[in-house]
Structure 1
Amino acid sequence: MAGQSSKKPNADFNLKAISPSIGARTATSHVGITSATDLVETTLFLYVRIVRAEDLPGIRGPNTCDPYVEVKVGGLKMTTTCFSRNSNPEWNQVFALEKARIQEPTLEILVKDKIPRFGEILGRLSFAISEIPTRVPTDSSLASQWYWLEDQKGISLGKLMLSNWIGTQADEAFPEARHLESAIVNTYNVLNTRSQIYLSPRIWCLRINLIQAQDLVDEDRVGDSPIFVQATLGSLTSRSKLVNNNKGNPKWNEEMFFAVLEPFDQQLFFSVEQGTMNNHRSIGKCKVPVKNADKRLDGASPAAKWYNLERPNITEVENNARAISRLNMRLSLDGGYHIFDEDPCFSSDLNPTVRRLWRSSVGIFELGILNASGLPAMKIGSRTDAYCVAKYGPKWVRTRTVIDNLNPKWNEQYTWDVYDPCTSITIAVFDNGYLHEVQGDHRGIDARIGKVRINLSEMITNRIYTYSFPLAELQPSGLKKMGEIQLAFRFCCPDMANLLKIYLIPKLPRLHFSNPLSRTQLSGLRKQTIMLLSSRMSKTEPAWRREVVSYMLDSNESLWSMRRGRADFDRIKAVMSGFVALHAQYDKICQWKNPTSSLIVCLIIFVLILEPQILLPGILFCLMLDIILQYPKRPGLLSHVDLQLSHVNAASVDELEEEFDPVPSKFEDRIIRYRYDRLRIILGRLAAEMGKLATRIEKLQSFLTWQDPTATFLFMILCLIGGIVTLFIPFQLVISICVLYLLRHPRFRSPIPALFENWVSRMPSKLDSMI
């Protein structure tokens, strides 16, 4: 029913502190990485590396057998690739098995023939697991050795080179190892179960400054129909505005933008079209390799160039015999911008495209992905094949897939360089839907289970955090808990002075202020980037699925939502409550409801009139005192999903269906759908502006609430210094300097934001707790 409220979830969505058995110390005296398993529980694995074999017997002599190797521990077994007609095969494959799962005392290695002739088993080896050596990650890799193979009668038949050892998940063989518990997976899909690290390609902004065309010829003599230019790059298309024909010499002076990924191996196609946007025909075409565009790092305009246009539907000889039509443009690859692929509110990277413009690293973020619990069954038979994905900056990591387990344990650790502390890392859990497909069949999808974000600015540097995060997924039927994920992480910073300096410089690269792009242009570039990244990363090996990239990057555009609208309104009301309370106190003082308070206020006002010098120091000292009083109330946990703030429990089923209704709407009536979609888009923009206002005020409030401990401490120090300085500088001089600074001539203004503006933009807000 439309007005029916969704049922309040009974699940516990609170963030919980945990105490896992990790190797890192809880003290904060050390800085940096201590070991590759510092933030995870050390897990022992039995590794077996099968290298190659020699002189395997065949029914008709050499190279007449189809050999493969079977690694067997109790009921668990896995096989290598099978070679056809080869007595000297080379496999070089690694197998791994968690030692805690080993129940048998013996490891068996069987060399078999796929088509048995003398017998299926060509030879065998056995090792006592208790006698297999143990190596730690600091040791060099274990050398492989030759072993003689014996048949069932004890006769030596060829030899096999292998090595086996007991190691941890920090072993260099771990990412490439095939785990014995994944034996049910097709050999073709084993690669989908391994740990992998991916890097996003660099993203450039291709700027097209369309100037004018010259000597356009109308073969069909349509008349003075308007002209526009259509630019196509791969699957992306952009159109210019319609302009007058101007006797075949139209002028635009318009810019178009494309997101481009390295390497620049694409062609940019231009087509000059005559007619309307719905009914037009081409009167000239040209193509330009993207790599020919000028690369630039600042806002300087490249030189304009003329490009000859070829007329369609005529031969090359006829085209050369006629007057040449030309198109005048400026093409540039701007590497000084940061092209967002994530939601700008939760960005993990703010560096420009060109690496030599990057800031120096301020520290390292270490993440230990421990385990998950209570995951829902995502497949028939109450099965879930879960893996975890983490993204920060251009680096994506993917844990191994734990087969058929609702409580998977990964215990994998990863690190990232941090260039700005006011960024977020995204961690998500997926169900692997590509494990049992046959080669070339891609009907499955990686179903999303849940996602969490960690804001680095809320963390105390060099401190280890161990939390169990609830995986909350908002669905049309309401909020659902999809289990929990346990993480251990820390932000290591060797130089606090370098970290504090970051708060005073702009978040975005300099080119965003000296030659800014509009919000619409940035939004369009982000949509193109998500599309390009999804396409490019789907061609990696193993492939990043499009649904994974889309979910990690929050590709769905935020439209109107009653739930978010109410939440943003309540945020504004909360931040304005202080002004309302101040007005109420002012009214009580004016009404003399408390004569003592009114007399004290009058006395303070007269003192300030007589001694205005103490006004600014008094304000600064009061702010510092308020910060000190707020210290015991500082947040004990990092920000996470806030159900009350997000209005999830109060949202009705009808409102949630509206929130998940795509554009265009699924309603049948076309007119109603058109008006409804237009209304949703407008209200979505209005709600976004309301949210930005609330976010701005919350960022200012966070200076006093210890939400970002580093920034609050620095603000308190500045209040103390400012109070002491203004105590001795005449009040009139301070006010005069401030007025002159605010009203300074534009010649003395810089496009770079002021220091305090940069600082405010980096502060946390309640937006971090919104779903």
Structure 2
Amino acid sequence: MALAKVDFSLKAISPITDNLGITSQTDLVEINLFLFVKIVRARNLFAHNGHNNLDPYVEVTAGRFLGRTFCLQGNTNPEWDQVFALENDQIEKEGIKTVEIFVKDNVARYDPYLGMISLEIFHIPKRFPTDSALAPKWFVLEDECKRRYRGELMMCCWIGNQADEAFHEASHLQLGHVLISARHTLNTCSRVYIMPRVWCLRLNLLQVEGLILEIDDPSESSDIFITATFGNGTRTLASKSVKSNNGNPIWNEKDILFAVAEPLDEILFLTVEQGTLARCKRLGTCVFPVKKAQTPLQNPDRLVTMDVIQNERFFVGKLSMRVTLDGGYHMFDDDPRYSTDVNPTDNGVWRPNIGVFEMGILNATGLPEMKPQGRTDAYCVAKYGSKWVRSRTVVNSLSPKWNEQYSWKVYDPSTFFIISVFDNSQLHEEYIAAGANDTRIGKVRISLSEMEINTVYNYSYPLVQLQPSGLKKMGEIQLSFKFTSPSKANLYKKYTMPMLFPQHFEDPLSQAQLYGLRQQTIELVRSNMSKAEPPLRNEVVDYMLDSREIVWSMRRCKADFERINVFLNCLVGIYTYFDDVRKWKDLVSPIIAHLLLVVLFFLPQSLLPAIFLALIVHMLQEFQIKPKTLSHADLHLSHVHTASEDELQEEFDPMPSKFEDIILMHRYDRLRVSAGRVVTQMGEFAATMERLQSLLSFQDSTATMLVMISCLIIGIVALAVPFRYLVFVWFLYFLRHPMFRSPFPPFYENWIRRMPSKLDSMI
């Protein structure tokens, strides 16, 4: 009943109309003017009032709003090169007339300031994005008695908008009572992050020659295996065990796969072990720099021989292996069901891009209070492909306005755009000291295949969180976005091509290998994002990439079962209809059926044209009821309304389980993992059925138009060519020899795979 009172629907909002004539970088967002103050450096500062130390910093004040630069210790000619910004709406709302810049000394806290500059906002020039950057100049500082101070400050001040290059670098002035310390203001800035290229490292172990074994009985064989570990020790994989008593064990097993990120400066440690995984003895170690690995195109059969060393000096054998860097696979970081990219690592084999996706992050409303005193410091993180975007943090606001616009190149239309909202907990010392995480508020997925080309969408998406206590609405986020494609021919061609690249079909990886590589790739993304400034924290990356393993969920099981029942009911309905015709339950349908039978008896060649004509008519009927909005979170489809609190707690139960009994815990975990796989297969079957249905329903308008054209062409060919020839050619093609078959899936399979399904609306 609680869900019925909350509006979880997707709402269309008014498009942005007033953009002040600027359409290149901000045509999807509302243009906001900002007061920018750039503090470059100072000179000839001196300490006074009897102390010799000088730790200068600059304070920018506009009404109740305040911002501070870093404090530079013991420097009379400091350089800051920092930009501050204040939204013009706040200036007008507060009636601010002047902006004041104070140079202060952190040592002499009793001094009001060393010098200051006061500027009338009315006289500050306006700068448009097409103009060059405003040149800073020296200003003579004045003391508190309005006398000239001998020190000078280089700065500049202007009024611009979001398209200004200083916008993403600026620290926004905050109210004095919620002021963020200077060293944490960087956590409020917007940033663009680019993921490194992640390669698949193939390790093929062949054998070890001349290995010195420690065995009591020479007639008995020892178990020998090799562990491969990267330098930081976080990723370790073991080979299979082989029996050997002569010191020349042979493996030649299937490749061990690692995910490695550029610049490929990691070290691979290979350790030869004797015994079992639980109890083993180290025989020797060798070290292989990843940079020495070659790609398959360079020398795929190159054999690498390395000395196995014990205690860093004793030679105990030679290890033969092959190590290659394979860039033909797409290394999945996000959930494969909602992939934002399908390109392989090697960008030399990428297909040309088909367009550009542009996103305007407007604002959010109704966000919950995430901190004491009713505070929320919200920011957005958006991802498509290897490009991540972090918006600026709007401090202390339950209705933040971002009005930031970004763009991404699109290489495949059957991909998803992901954007999430978080509460920033890295702004104040007490939260940082307590190890607080950035709290997730909600996530939105947008399917590019459902979008019309060159159409602007303006929507208010509900932000929902499924928690162990139930579903909770966390507010709404308003977005404006569009997908532009200059060549529709290239777009149509994509629907007949495999989503993944040839390597995935010529040398396919198992599900276990794909899962292992994805977990390693996520770990590399975490490590890379944590090194940026400001960093994207691990909890943010995990939420964006859906890193949690899929386990048993009663809610999802019910949802997938109902999705399958929809199509089973359609089959039952068709059988029931024909049974009613056979039993003459009404007069019209049997007469029509007999007329069709007579026509097909005398004109069998019209069978296929009639079928395809019927499909075209059905699709034209579906056009009348085509979806008016893009897909979004469907609560009833996801069975959120029927899930009990106990079922949700089971779904969110961590791995391993939190049950105290050890035996029950292991049995329960095995059951959940197995059931999770069954649920995944049920979902895949349901998604396939829904994709077949979406071919005819204009959910993907481009694909449905192509189906209509294909039906028309096939119908004309079937009308012109005798039916027996069509059947003969089809059977001849169907029974062709395997040597004439391609490892790639046929075009119609690729086509169906690209279709949207209700999986896109699942929570």
TM-score range, shorter chain: over 0.9
In 1, Cα distance between the equivalents of 2:297 and 2:50? Answer: 67
Match of 1:10 in 2: 5
Match of 2:699 in 1: 707
Alignment CA distance shift 1:437-1:65 (3 Å): closer
In 2, Cα distance between the equivalents of 1:25 and 1:488? Answer: 17
Shift of 1:253: 2.2
Shift of 1:536: 2.3
Say which of 205, 209, 227 aligns to 2:204: 209
Confirm or deny: 8 A CA contact 2:68 2:182 kept in the other structure: no
Aligned pairs for 1:296-445 (under 5 A) are 296=296, 301-311=300-310, 313=311, 316=313, 319-320=314-315, 324-437=316-429, 441=433, 443-445=435-437
Match of 1:521 in 2: 513
Instruction: Confirm or deny that 1:228 pairs with 2:225.
Output: yes
Shift of 1:402: 0.6
Q: Aligned AA for 1:209?
A: N
Match of 1:126 in 2: 118
Moved more, 8-17 or 708-717: 8-17
Match of 1:689 in 2: 681
**Secondary structure, counterpart of 1:329 in structure 2:** strand
In 2, Cα distance between the equivalents of 1:768 and 1:25? Answer: 37
Match of 1:166 in 2: 159
CA distances 1:136-193 after superposition (whole Å, capped 9, x unpaired): 1111111112222222444322322211111112111111111111761122211110
Alignment CA distance shift 1:597-1:66 (3 Å): closer
In 2, Cα distance between the equivalents of 1:609 and 1:301? Answer: 61
Aligned pairs for 1:692-771 (under 5 A) are 692-771=684-763
Q: Which has the higher contact order (CA 8 A, sep 6+)?
A: 1
Alignment CA distance shift 1:296-1:308 (3 Å): same
In 2, Cα distance between the equivalents of 1:679 and 1:119? Answer: 69
Confirm or deny: 8 A CA contact 1:564 1:647 kept in the other structure: yes
Confirm or deny: 8 A CA contact 1:266 1:290 kept in the other structure: yes
Match of 2:295 in 1: 295
**Secondary structure, counterpart of 2:203 in structure 1:** strand
Match of 1:157 in 2: 149
Alignment CA distance shift 1:187-1:121 (3 Å): closer
Match of 1:596 in 2: 588
Instruction: Confirm or deny that 1:239 pairs with 2:231.
Output: no
Moved more, 212-221 or 375-384: 212-221
Shift of 1:122: 2.5
Confirm or deny: 8 A CA contact 1:188 1:439 kept in the other structure: no
In 2, Cα distance between the equivalents of 1:608 and 1:757? Answer: 30
Confirm or deny: 8 A CA contact 2:20 2:31 kept in the other structure: no
Shift of 1:10: 2.3
In 1, Cα distance between the equivalents of 2:76 and 2:423? Answer: 40
Say which of 45, 48, 56 aligns to 1:59: 48
Alignment CA distance shift 1:294-1:84 (3 Å): closer
In 1, Cα distance between the equivalents of 2:300 and 2:613? Answer: 50
In 2, Cα distance between the equivalents of 1:100 and 1:688? Answer: 50
**Secondary structure, counterpart of 1:467 in structure 2:** strand
In 1, Cα distance between the equivalents of 2:154 and 2:48? Answer: 23
Confirm or deny: 8 A CA contact 1:23 1:40 kept in the other structure: no
Say which of 32, 48, 58 aligns to 2:37: 48
Moved more, 189-198 or 33-42: 33-42
Moved more, 215-224 or 435-444: 435-444
Moved more, 277-286 or 750-759: 277-286
Confirm or deny: 8 A CA contact 1:224 1:246 kept in the other structure: yes
Q: Aligned AA for 1:248?
A: G
Alignment CA distance shift 1:461-1:58 (3 Å): same
Moved more, 107-116 or 284-293: 107-116
Shift of 1:83: 3.1
Match of 1:662 in 2: 654
Instruction: Confirm or deny that 1:177 pairs with 2:170.
Output: yes
**Secondary structure, counterpart of 1:294 in structure 2:** coil
In 1, Cα distance between the equivalents of 2:675 and 2:106? Answer: 66
In 2, Cα distance between the equivalents of 1:84 and 1:678? Answer: 59
Confirm or deny: 8 A CA contact 2:420 2:444 kept in the other structure: yes
Confirm or deny: 8 A CA contact 2:68 2:181 kept in the other structure: no
Q: Which runs of 5+ in 2 are unaligned?
A: none
In 1, Cα distance between the equivalents of 2:19 and 2:619? Answer: 32
Match of 1:195 in 2: 190
Confirm or deny: 8 A CA contact 2:66 2:175 kept in the other structure: no
Q: Aligned AA for 2:171?
A: R
In 1, Cα distance between the equivalents of 2:118 and 2:3? Answer: 58
Shift of 1:595: 3.9
Alignment CA distance shift 1:746-1:101 (3 Å): same
Moved more, 240-249 or 546-555: 240-249
Instruction: Confirm or deny that 1:87 pairs with 2:72.
Output: no
Structure 1 vs Structure 2: percent identity of aligned residues?
53
Confirm or deny: 8 A CA contact 2:453 2:484 kept in the other structure: yes
**Secondary structure, counterpart of 2:429 in structure 1:** coil
CA distances 1:444-497 after superposition (whole Å, capped 9, x unpaired): 110000000000000001100000000011000111000000000000111111
Aligned pairs for 1:96-135 (under 5 A) are 96-102=85-91, 103-116=95-108, 119-135=111-127
Match of 1:3 in 2: none
Match of 1:279 in 2: 279
Moved more, 666-675 or 689-698: 666-675
In 1, Cα distance between the equivalents of 2:16 and 2:416? Answer: 26
In 1, Cα distance between the equivalents of 2:62 and 2:702? Answer: 53
Q: Aligned AA for 1:307?
A: M
Say which of 23, 26, 34 aligns to 1:37: 26
CA distances 1:713-741 after superposition (whole Å, capped 9, x unpaired): 11111111111111101111111111111
Confirm or deny: 8 A CA contact 2:19 2:30 kept in the other structure: no
In 1, Cα distance between the equivalents of 2:56 and 2:182? Answer: 16
In 2, Cα distance between the equivalents of 1:332 and 1:725? Answer: 49
Match of 2:622 in 1: 630
In 2, Cα distance between the equivalents of 1:617 and 1:670? Answer: 65
Q: Aligned AA for 1:517?
A: L
**Secondary structure, counterpart of 1:138 in structure 2:** coil
Match of 1:258 in 2: 258
Say which of 447, 465, 480 aligns to 1:455: 447
In 2, Cα distance between the equivalents of 1:410 and 1:709? Answer: 32
Shift of 1:119: 4.9
In 2, Cα distance between the equivalents of 1:132 and 1:171? Answer: 16
Confirm or deny: 8 A CA contact 1:70 1:110 kept in the other structure: yes
| TM-score for the superposition, normalised by structure 2 | 0.95
Confirm or deny: 8 A CA contact 2:127 2:160 kept in the other structure: yes
Confirm or deny: 8 A CA contact 1:212 1:253 kept in the other structure: yes
In 1, Cα distance between the equivalents of 2:20 and 2:154? Answer: 41
Match of 1:501 in 2: 493
In 2, Cα distance between the equivalents of 1:182 and 1:288? Answer: 55
Q: Aligned AA for 1:243?
A: V
Moved more, 489-498 or 157-166: 157-166
Alignment CA distance shift 1:419-1:250 (3 Å): same
**Secondary structure, counterpart of 1:244 in structure 2:** strand
Moved more, 277-286 or 693-702: 277-286
Q: Aligned AA for 2:705?
A: F
Alignment CA distance shift 1:484-1:439 (3 Å): closer
CA distances 1:189-242 after superposition (whole Å, capped 9, x unpaired): 111100000001111001111222223222243641222221112310111222
Q: Aligned AA for 2:162?
A: Q
Q: Aligned AA for 1:240?
A: S
Moved more, 45-54 or 638-647: 45-54
Instruction: Confirm or deny that 1:21 pairs with 2:16.
Output: yes
In 2, Cα distance between the equivalents of 1:636 and 1:110? Answer: 55
Shift of 1:694: 0.7
